[in-house]
Structure 1
Amino acid sequence: MFKVLRLGFVAGVGISGWVGGGIYERRRREHREHQEHIHREHRDIRDYEMLGRIPGLPLGPKVSAATAIVPAGERGVAVADIPPEPVNAPRVAQIMRFGFPGLDHVRSHADYVLSYDRRNRVPHWVFEHLTKDSIQKSEGVERSNSEFKEDTSIHEFFRAKNSDYKHSGYDRGHMAPAGNHRRNQNMCDETFYLSNMAPQVGKGFNRDKWEHLERYARKLTKLYKNVYICTGPLYLPRKEASDGKMYVKYEVIGANNVSVPTHFFKVIVGETEDHQLELEAYVLPNQVIPDETPLNNFQVPVDSVERAAGLLFFDRLSRDKLSKINGKKIGWF
């Protein structure tokens, strides 16, 4: 009798567990379906929140990683309108209005955004948004008050240090130049992070022709209401005379093996008051360049820069929305 009761008790417990388990599983399934419904309804919010977790990237409007550019009318793809100017949005959204070239180790500062190359200890790219007002120098802001410094937001394994540049023969070359960011001292100071630097030949390049290009970009704010600039390093191949083969060769400096780029690019989009968009693309070799060499000698097709850099610039902007490229009219404009 005791055995029968015990078996009955065990069976009852088993049935109760089975029923309870079934209820639990059903509720779990309902909860999961409910969560999936929320997920579908709020996908954009999820994307927004995921981007907000990128170190140094403040929350702002949804942004996109680079995608292939498809010409208008090709494969039936409709051309989107020019993204509206995000006037009241966070600064990072204003700078990155036309899209991110990539989202690899992105860092945003008060007045520029960069993607850091941990292997080479230099930026992948640096993005800026200039206007006539934004480049004005405020009283008391001085470049001489700023100091080159390590970027402690980068893991110490991958940081460049001042000691890497010491006695190297190279300048700490700004990608986002201090001259573009002088509204307050903090903005100027942030351009001196070594994550914003790459080794550049000093006299004849960083202090001369490259600086001329930076100054030219600032002057464009007199012609355009908005100027968007993407700057970065390149490592281009060249043919060796010894065997006729192509090689990518570049020097590294310091204990942290900071890479010395062979070239640098700067891609600029200017927006006129009537919303016409004009693009210019430049590639300069990291070497002494004669002072009399015109800057337009270094203009190149933007797609050649994209292929060399492995980036797609202004991915939210269809190329047929551009009225000029390197000073030449295109399309029906």
Structure 2
Amino acid sequence: MQRVVSVVSLTVGVGLGAAVVRLYGDSPAPDTHRGLLSRVPLVPVPNVQAAASELVPHRMAAMKYGLPSLANVKSRESYVTSYDPRNRTAAWVIEHLTPDGLAGSADRKCCEFKEDDSVHAYHRASNTDYKGSGFDRGHLAAAANHKWSQKAMDDTFYLSNVSPQNPHLNQNAWNGLEKYCRALTKFNKNVFVCTGPLYLPKEESDGKMYVKYQVIGKNHVAVPTHFFKVVILEKASGEVELRPYVMPNAPVDEKVPLERFLVPIESIERASGLLFVPNIMKRTSTLKSITLGGK
């Protein structure tokens, strides 16, 4: 049985209490969604064999540690995804990053955002949904992660791999997190990245919690309140390290260290309804050693 090490247990003192933040000017303020992202119990894991059998062999590497969920699983040239037809975006996308995959002649100037014809017309996003919305078409599987093949990069431009993302976040702090994931391939045997949207509840003036998010375009594409990125690092020693990040879908100061956005893996599982690395037994003593409050 492989051992899983949670990076949260290695980051004492970096301010995990502000892991999910909304920044106002230069001063970070606690995010009002934070209560959902703390003190969450472990939950049982599903059997992934049935869904994995639908995937072609050369894409199975991304599924090495299991599928986060089993619904609407699709495989592309460069990633595997689960589509959420209600929100018109993916529930999650998994990529396998390698130095060879990051190198190549693929050019994003040759790519265009396009509707996903494999999704029913009632349930898919279109480019007109994003036009004039104020949101970027934010990649979940990043285009720059798949320079090894023009087809692989092209596949990242399906709108089923896109979520409405605040332009400042997309072009700055989130872009920095994507670059950091690519840099990790230099120091690890394998890097797997799972990315997706979150729709978190927020306390309103009446003291009650509500899940509230904007939709854009005639197809009512859901605008996430937050995004997660779970980085799975496979060490040469055989250990597996998890680095789970959550960022608000809002402007984020690039000067804030990425470590400030680390959260316990269980918190993302609870918030998203997903289960990560189900093929490995997660050790409760390691994963629960620190909560967002740093206790």
**What is the TM-score of this pair, normalised by structure 2?**
0.78
User: Which structure is higher in helix share?
Assistant: 1
Match of 1:162 among 112, 127, 134: 127
Select the residue among 197, 202, 225 that pairs with 1:238.
202
Q: 5+ residue gaps in structure 2?
A: 1-48, 291-295
Q: CA deviation at 1:94?
A: 0.8
Give the corresponding residue for 2:210. 247
Residue 51 of structure 1 deviates from its aligned partner by: 6.0
1:146 aligns with 2:146: no
- Residue in 1 that maps onto 2:240: 277
Distance (Å, rounded) in 2 between the aligned partners of 1:218 and 1:51: 25
Residue 100 of structure 2: aligned partner: 133
Contact 1:224 1:272 in 2 (8 A): yes
2:229 aligned to which of 266, 270, 273? 266
Aligned-partner Cα distance in 1 for 2:52–2:282: 26
- Normalized per residue, the structure richer in strand is 2
Q: 2-side partners of 1:291 and 1:124: how far apart?
A: 26
Find the counterpart in structure 2 of residue 200 from structure 1.
Answer: 165
- Compared CA separation, residues 309 and 259, structure 1 to 2 (3 A): same
Rounded to whole Å, the distance in 2 between the matches of 1:222 and 1:116 is 31
1:98 aligns with 2:65: yes
Deviation readout 1:125-157 (Å, 9 max, x if unpaired): 000111222211x13x11111000000010111
1:109 counterpart (45, 67, 76)? 76
How much has 1:252 moved relative to structure 2?
A: 0.1
* Structure 2 match to 1:175: 140
Matched to 1:216, the amino acid is Y
1:321, 1:151 → 2: CA distance?
39
More contact order relative to length (CA 8 Å, sep ≥ 6): 2
Larger radius of gyration: 1
Count of residues in correspondence between the two structures: 242
TM value normalised by structure 1: 0.69
* In 2, Cα distance between equivalents of 1:285 and 1:292: 15
Structure 1 stretches (4+) deviating beyond 2 angstroms? none
The equivalent of 2:19 in structure 1 is none
Contact 2:138 2:162 survives alignment (8 Å): yes
Rounded Cα–Cα distance in structure 1 between residues aligned with 2:284 and 2:61 = 19
Task: Give the Cα–Cα distance (whole angstroms) in 2 for the partners of residues 51 and 305 of structure 1.
Answer: 22
- Deviation, 1:58, is 3.3
Q: Which residue in 1 is equivalent to 2:180? A: 216
Q: Which amino acid aligns with 2:248?
A: P
Calculate percent identity across the aligned residue pairs: 49
Letter in 2 for 1:215: K
Contact 2:188-2:233 within 8 A present in 1 as well = yes
Q: Is residue 318 from structure 1 mapped to residue 285 from structure 2 by the alignment?
A: no
Q: RMSD of aligned C-alpha atoms?
A: 2.1
Amino acid at match of 2:122: F
